[in-house]
Amino acid sequence: MKAIVCEEPRVFKLINQERPQLEKDTALVNIKRIGVCGTDLHAFTGNQPFFEYPRILGHELAGVIESIGNNPYGLKQGDQVSVIPYMECGKCIACKQGLTNCCTHMRVMGVHFDGGMTEQISVPCDHLIKTNALTLDQSAILEPLSIGAHAVRRSNLQKDDVTLVIGAGPIGLGVMQAAKQKGAKVIAMDMNDERLAFSKQWANLDYSINVLNGPVEQLMNITNGDMPNIVYDATGNSKSMMDAFRYPANGGKLVYVGLVKSDITFSDPLFHSKELTLMASRNATKEDFNFVMESIESGFIDEKSFITHRSTFDDLPNKFKNWLKPESGVVKGMIEI
C-alpha cells in the first residue's frame, strides 16, 4: 500500500509498504482524510527539535474500519471513525486520574511513531470515535478542534464569562468556537487582520482586535474597565505569552494553549496583585472529541470554510511546499485518499 514518508527535512517520498496485521484490541482503518497542521509543517521544515526521521506524518485522521475483532465500543467493519492520536500508558499518575492527555509517557501518532499518511493503519479500539453521522471532512477536524475544546473545559469557563483568545490560527479558532458555544462573550486578538476577520465571522465572535493597536486600551473599552476573566493564548509566540499577563481581570485565568520551546518570564507583582491562575492545556481527551462531535452534529461548526486547501494523496509532495507559505492563506489543509 502507498505511504508518504518524510525522509528528512523538506523531503517527502511516496513509498510502498506492507499492510498492518489485525491484532487483539485494535482495528485496521482505511484512511480517507488527513488534516495537516502546524506540527506537520514544522516537522517537514525541520523545526521540530526532537523529531526523528524518517517519519510518516499525519495525526488528524478520518477513515473507515476495514476489520475489527470483538470490542466493547460497538464498533464494527464499515463504521466511519475519527482517530484519537495520543497514546497514553494508562498506568502513570496522570493516566490514573483520567488525565490521559498529559500522560508521563505520551506517544503521539505521526510524531513519536508513524502516523496516518498512508492507506491503512492499525489503531487501538479505544482510540476510535464512531462518526457515522458526520462527513469525512467533519470527522477529520475533530482532533484539531478538540484541542480548543479541552482548553475551554480545563479553564472551567462559565456562561457569560468574558474571554480573550489571542491567536486566530486553527487552534485559537477551536478555543473561540468552544467558548462561544458555552455562552461566553469572546474577543479575538491577532496581528493579522485577515485572520481576525475570518475568525470573527467563522466563530460568530463579539469583538476582534489587532494587538498592534493598543490592546489594553481596547480591552478596557470593550469590558468597561473590567478586562476579560479568562485569557487563552494560542499564538505559539513567547512575546505574546508574556504580554498576556497584562490582559486578565483580577482573579482571572491565563491559559497557555500555544506553546514555545523557550522560557517564559513574567512580573510577579502583576501575577500576585491580580491573584491570577496560570494554566497549561495539552492535547485533548475522548470527552473533548465528543464535545466537538456534538457541536458539529448540532450545526455549530462550519467545516467548509475552515478547510481552505485540499490535495489528493499523490499530489501532496507537490502541494505541501505551497502550504508552508503564509501568503497561501492556509487555515486547514486536507488530504483525500
Ligand X SMILES: NC(=O)c1ccc[n+]([C@@H]2O[C@H](COP(=O)([O-])OP(=O)(O)OC[C@H]3O[C@@H](n4cnc5c(N)ncnc54)[C@H](O)[C@@H]3O)[C@@H](O)[C@H]2O)c1
Residues at the interface with ligand X (CB under 6 A): 37-38, 147, 166-172, 189-192, 195, 211, 234-237, 239-240, 257-259, 281-283
Considering beta carbons, is residue 63 or 110 the nearer one to ligand X?
110
In angstroms, what CA-CA distances link 128 with 16, 34, 88? 25, 15, 14
In sequence order, the 6+-apart residues with CB closer than 8 A to the CB of 130 are 73, 74, 75, 79, 80, 81
- Pick the closest to residue 82 from 31, 130, 124 (CA basis): 130
Residue 190 contacts which entry, ligand X, Zn ion, none (Cβ below 5-8 A, type-dependent): ligand X
Considering beta carbons, is residue 15 or 41 the nearer one to ligand X?
41
C-alpha cell at 327: 501568503
Alpha-carbon Rg for the chain in angstroms: 20
**Considering the complex, what minimum distance in angstroms separates the CB of residue 5 from ligand X?**
22
Q: Does 95 bind Zn ion (CB under 5 A)?
A: yes
Residue 88 contacts which entry, Zn ion, ligand X, none (Cβ below 5-8 A, type-dependent): Zn ion
Considering beta carbons, is residue 28 or 171 the nearer one to ligand X?
171
Residue 237 contacts which entry, Zn ion, ligand X, none (Cβ below 5-8 A, type-dependent): ligand X
Among 15, 41, 64, 92, binds Zn ion (CB under 5 A): 92
Q: Distance between CA atoms of 245 and 228, rounded to whole angstroms?
A: 11
Considering beta carbons, is residue 58 or 248 the nearer one to Zn ion?
58
**Considering the complex, what minimum distance in angstroms separates the CB of residue 159 from ligand X?**
24
What is the DSSP code string of 129-165? EE-TTS-HHHHHTHHHHHHHHHHHHHTT--TT-EEEE
Considering beta carbons, is residue 41 or 242 the nearer one to Zn ion?
41
Longest dimension (CA), the chain: 62
